[in-house]
């Protein structure tokens, strides 16, 4: 086994490889650019070598620099991760010229998969099923058209040199053909400098099902089952899962065997993925083979219990595959959601900025977060804006999907726009829950995923208002409970006085629009209810909060929802999706007057960290009085004016409820002091 390897990558995949290497007692060398000088992967590695300026073309894509770094540090092998140099045959050759092991397939295998039509010919010879079509050298348009006419429309034109959907064109009828071919050729020539085309029967509702294969240098080959990656957006995977829903054992072994045939047809070694289109009738067709470890490999790890990076290292070092096909078993179901810095409401424009607040869900046997960033790190313009991969596992699809939704709810990021809400809306959309998947999923269900603003305002605004009313009541009550003065009027445990017409007003902000809310508390026998007026409607509301759960009854309609709070910004999670809002102005009702006096109340549930002022000593306005920690962030509470602390109600280490009074503060009357 190697004793030291270099990882020619950055971000989460570099960190992922380092983790396994460390477990195996292998030293790691990171490489980094200017932008990554302080990044997590550099921190985690045993050594790191600077390879150039931030743009990938001047650093991570420079094979020579990477090899120089490996030579300098004595790394015996290079793990390329995915992207960058991972499928670059020339880089592979340079590794071998320098006696460095490339942790990946042999050079000819990479080259064989470089051209779509050449790959199709190899697969055809190896008896791997192909979509019916023509992929010949004779590019005479009449020949291509004849093939299309014979197989029947619709057909799909694909650029031989293409990838990721570029240079593809659907043709729905014979009379559209000539024009479509000419257009596809032009596009392909300008994108790839090559206008060789192939034509295939167009499958209108296929699924993307890919098989993970592994081959060693001793003739052994296995498949580690399949992943369904049908949910894509512009050929970018969004959520992947394993196993594929609805897969039968019979189809699985047929696809698995085909995948192994594909790999063996090109003399494959190491980790590879064979992508298939799976048609509605259960036919499957070879699409392409990826000669690298893929982004979505964790779902396979979760259901197989295997560490694919460890397998890669063992195979690259010349060992046998760790397990045989018979020893491999599927256990449960896993999903991966890719958390991106991007704006789904603005055509998924990549977002940049500083991750001011970054709180992933807590990791466990069921929840895994693969990331390369920490709170405070930047998402820069230089690289892929993926922040993390959220991977969940459970014993079946339904349970795993519930975990995914819950973990997405818990994922809190501030500072950059993310796709987390989009992922939540997608994961909870009925057709996704029902596993009604195909490659057109997001387009087909666009309105369900990007729900209409109007429905949101009708349904979600009153819920948000009720939540804020209940939360405020709870806060007033907690304050009363925590008050050290038993004679306080707040100690009646009902900050909102009985038997008074009690009108409260505040405002809710949603998507930069302010909605005034008025609330009248009423009583009927023993129970309180609220008449909430918002957005032109008055509703009879009741409810209670239990942790993050809201149990509500609005005009007789009962339901529950989950609410996440962060610094006065709230997220309301329901099966229909997520709704964000914040409370703009404090309630002007009487109960709130004291709660907000001087801001000396706990901003949220948390822990007292330290007391910074001395009791009965003069402090200046804005002088720090104490530090509280909540949601992994520290909050400094400052003197609202010059004055002195008469008493601290908590000491360091105490748990403090949100809204609780923290200090007895007396403002000084002598303003000049
Ligand atoms: C297809 C197809 C339907 N019929 N081929 C898209 C990229 C690529 N590598 C192959 N692709 C497709 N080929 C035939 N004959 C539909 C797609 C396709 C697709 C495939 C996998 C995942 C997402 C997709 C989204 C749109 C189209």
Length of the chain: 673
CATH 1.20.1060.10 fits 598-667, yes or no: no
Q: Looking at residue 631, what is its pLDDT?
A: 61
Ligand 1: residue whose CA is nearest its atom 3:
203
Please give the distance of CA 45 from its chain centroid, rounded to a whole number: 24
pLDDT tens for each residue of 54-69: 999 999 999 999 999 9
Give distance in angstroms: CA of 433 to centre of ligand 1.
Answer: 23
The rounded average pLDDT for each run of 10 residues, N- to C-terminus, in the chain (673 residues) is: 98 98 98 97 98 96 98 98 96 98 96 84 95 93 96 95 81 95 90 91 97 98 98 95 98 98 96 97 95 97 98 98 98 98 87 91 97 95 95 98 95 91 94 97 93 74 92 78 56 44 82 86 83 91 92 91 86 84 62 43 80 93 85 74 89 84 81 42
**Cβ of 245: how many Cβ atoms within 10 Å?**
15
Sheet (strand 606-611) strand order: 633-638, 624-630, 606-611, 655-656
CATH number for the domain formed by residue range(s) 454-583 = 3.30.700.40
Q: Looking at residue 454, what is its pLDDT?
A: 67
CATH number for the domain formed by residue range(s) 4-103 = 3.40.50.20
Would you list the DSSP string of 288-306?
EEE-S--TTHHHHHHHH--
Ligand 1: residue whose CA is nearest its atom 11:
165
Q: Looking at residue 600, what is its pLDDT?
A: 78
CATH 3.30.700.40-classified regions of the chain: 454-583
Q: Are residues 13 and 309 in contact, defined by beta-carbon separation less than 8 angstroms? A: no
In three-state secondary structure terms, 618 is strand
| Rounded Cα distance, 13 and 17, in Å | 6
DSSP code at position 416: S
DSSP bridge pairs for 155: 171, 201
Ligand 1: residue whose CA is nearest its atom 23:
439
Of 292, 368, 403, 412, catalytic = 292
Q: Is ligand 1 within 6 A of the CB of residue 200?
A: yes
Q: Looking at residue 650, what is its pLDDT?
A: 92
| Rounded Cα distance, 25 and 47, in Å | 14
Q: Looking at residue 607, what is its pLDDT?
A: 87
Helical segments of 130-284, H only: 141-151, 177-192, 249-265
Q: What is the dihedral of CA 462, 467, 468, 474, to 10 degrees?
A: 150
Ligand 1: residue whose CA is nearest its atom 14:
202
Q: Is ligand 1 within 6 A of the CB of residue 156?
A: yes
DSSP code at position 130: B
In three-state secondary structure terms, 399 is helix
Give distance in angstroms: CA of 332 to centre of ligand 1.
Answer: 28
Q: Looking at residue 172, what is its pLDDT?
A: 97
Q: Looking at residue 426, what is its pLDDT?
A: 96
Q: Is ligand 1 within 6 A of the CB of residue 418?
A: no
481: which 2 tokens?
């409970």
Question: What's the Rg (C-alpha) of the chain?
Answer: 30
pTM attached to this predicted model: 0.80
Give distance in angstroms: CA of 159 to centre of ligand 1.
Answer: 12
* Cβ within 8 Å of residue 28, ≥6 positions away: 4, 5, 6, 7, 17, 18, 21, 22, 44, 45, 46, 47
| Rounded Cα distance, 309 and 565, in Å | 38
Q: Is ligand 1 within 6 A of the CB of residue 74?
A: no
| Rounded Cα distance, 379 and 385, in Å | 6
pLDDT tens for each residue of 523-540: 877 788 999 999 888 999
Helical segments of 492-610, H only: 590-595
Ligand 1: residue whose CA is nearest its atom 15:
202
CATH 3.30.1490.20-classified regions of the chain: 132-201
pLDDT tens for each residue of 173-200: 999 999 999 999 998 888 888 999 999 9
Strands (E), 511-642: 513-524, 527-534, 537-546, 549-554, 557-566, 569-574, 577-583, 606-611, 618-619, 624-630, 633-638
Q: Is ligand 1 within 6 A of the CB of residue 439?
A: yes
Given the DSSP bridges, would you call strands 47-52 and 27-33 parallel, antiparallel or unpaired? Answer: parallel
Give distance in angstroms: CA of 215 to centre of ligand 1.
Answer: 26
Give distance in angstroms: CA of 147 to centre of ligand 1.
Answer: 19
In three-state secondary structure terms, 23 is helix
Q: What is the number of H-type helices and E-type strands within the chain?
A: 18, 38
Q: Are residues 407 and 390 in contact, defined by beta-carbon separation less than 8 angstroms? A: yes
The answer, yes or no, to whether the previous bond of 243 is cis (omega within 30 of 0) is yes
Which atom of ligand 1 is nearest the CA belonging to 164?
Answer: 7
| Rounded Cα distance, 445 and 426, in Å | 9
CATH 3.30.470.20-classified regions of the chain: 207-449
CATH number for the domain formed by residue range(s) 207-449 = 3.30.470.20
pLDDT tens for each residue of 618-629: 999 888 999 888
Give distance in angstroms: CA of 227 to centre of ligand 1.
Answer: 16
Please give the distance of CA 531 from its chain centroid, rounded to a whole number: 39
Would you list the DSSP string of 464-475?
HHHHHHHHHHHH
Residue 461: which H helix or E strand, with range?
A: helix 453-482
Which atom of ligand 1 is nearest the CA belonging to 163?
Answer: 9
CATH number for the domain formed by residue range(s) 132-201 = 3.30.1490.20
* Cβ within 8 Å of residue 210, ≥6 positions away: 226, 227, 229, 273, 274, 275, 276, 290, 294
Residue 339: which H helix or E strand, with range?
A: strand 333-340
CATH 3.40.50.20-classified regions of the chain: 4-103
Pocket test for ligand 1, best of 120, 162, 168 (most atoms within 8 A of CB): 168
């Amino acid at each position: 086994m190697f004793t030291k390897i270099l990882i020619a990558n950055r971000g989460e995949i570099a960190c992922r490889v380092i983790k396994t290497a460390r477990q195996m007692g292998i030293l790691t060398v990171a490489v980094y650019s200017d932008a990554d000088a302080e990044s997590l992967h550099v921190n985690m590695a045993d050594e790191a070598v600077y390879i150039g300026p931030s743009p990938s073309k001047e650093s991570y894509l420079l094979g020579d620099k990477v090899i120089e770094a490996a030579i300098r540090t004595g790394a015996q092998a290079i793990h390329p991760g995915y992207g960058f140099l991972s499928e670059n045959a020339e880089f592979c050759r340079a590794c071998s010229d320098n006696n460095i092991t490339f942790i990946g397939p042999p050079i000819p295998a990479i080259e064989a998969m470089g051209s779509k039509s050449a790959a199709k010919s190899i697969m055809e010879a190896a008896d791997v099923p192909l979509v019916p079509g023509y992929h010949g050298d004779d590019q005479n348009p009449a020949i291509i058209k004849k093939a299309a006419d014979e197989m029947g429309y619709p057909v799909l034109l694909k650029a031989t040199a293409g990838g990721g959907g570029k240079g593809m064109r659907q043709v729905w009828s014979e009379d559209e053909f000539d024009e479509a071919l000419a257009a596809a050729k032009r596009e392909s020539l300008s994108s790839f400098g090559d206008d060789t085309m192939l034509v295939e029967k167009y499958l209108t509702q296929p699924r993307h099902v890919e098989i993970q294969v592994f081959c060693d240098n001793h003739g052994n080959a296995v498949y580690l089952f399949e992943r369904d990656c049908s949910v894509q957006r512009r050929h970018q995977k969004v959520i992947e899962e394993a196993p594929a829903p609805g897969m039968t054992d019979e189809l699985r072994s047929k696809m698995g065997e085909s995948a192994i045939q594909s790999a063996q047809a090109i003399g494959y070694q190491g980790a590879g993925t064979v992508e298939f289109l799976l048609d509605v009738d259960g036919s499957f067709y070879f699409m392409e083979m990826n000669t690298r470890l893929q982004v979505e490999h964790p779902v396979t790890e979760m259901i197989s219990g295997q560490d694919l990076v460890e397998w890669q290292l063992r195979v690259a070092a010349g060992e046998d595959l760790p397990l045989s096909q018979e020893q491999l078993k599927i256990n449960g179901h896993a999903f991966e959601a890719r958390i991106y810095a991007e704006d789904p409401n603005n055509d998924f424009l990549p977002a940049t900025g500083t991750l001011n607040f970054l709180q992933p869900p807590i990791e466990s046997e069921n929840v895994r977060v693969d990331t390369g960033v920490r709170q405070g790190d930047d998402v820069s313009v230089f690289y892929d804006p993926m922040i993390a991969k959220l991977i969940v596992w459970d014993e079946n699809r339904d349970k795993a999907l519930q975990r995914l939704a819950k973990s997405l709810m818990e994922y809190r990021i501030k500072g950059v726009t993310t796709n987390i809400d989009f992922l939540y809306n997608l994961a909870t959309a009925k057709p996704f829950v029902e596993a009604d998947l195909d490659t057109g999923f997001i387009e087909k269900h666009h309105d369900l995923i990007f729900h209409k603003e109007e429905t949101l305002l009708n349904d979600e605004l009153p819920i948000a208002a009720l939540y804020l009313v209940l939360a405020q009541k709870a806060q007033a009550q907690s304050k009363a409970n925590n008050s050290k003065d038993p004679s306080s009027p707040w100690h009646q445990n009902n900050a909102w006085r009985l038997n008074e017409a009690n009108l409260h007003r505040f405002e809710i902000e949603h998507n930069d629009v302010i909605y005034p809310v008025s609330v009248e508390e009423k009583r009927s026998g023993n129970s309180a209810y609220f008449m909430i007026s918002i957005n032109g409607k008055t509703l009879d509301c009741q409810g209670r909060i239990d942790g993050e759960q809201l149990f509500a009854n609005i005009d007789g309609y009962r339901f529950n929802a989950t609410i996440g709070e962060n610094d006065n910004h709230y997220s309301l999670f329901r099966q229909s999706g997520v709704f964000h809002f914040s409370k703009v102005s404090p309630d002007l009702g009487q109960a709130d007057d004291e709660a907000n006096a001087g801001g000396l109340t706990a901003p949220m549930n948390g822990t007292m960290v330290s007391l910074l002022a001395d009791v009965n000593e003069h402090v200046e306005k804005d002088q720090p009085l104490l530090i509280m920690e909540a949601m992994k962030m520290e909050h400094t509470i400052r003197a609202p004016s010059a004055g002195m602390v008469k008493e601290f109600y908590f000491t360091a280490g105490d748990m403090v409820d949100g809204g609780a009074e923290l200090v007895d503060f007396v403002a000084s009357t002598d303003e000049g002091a």
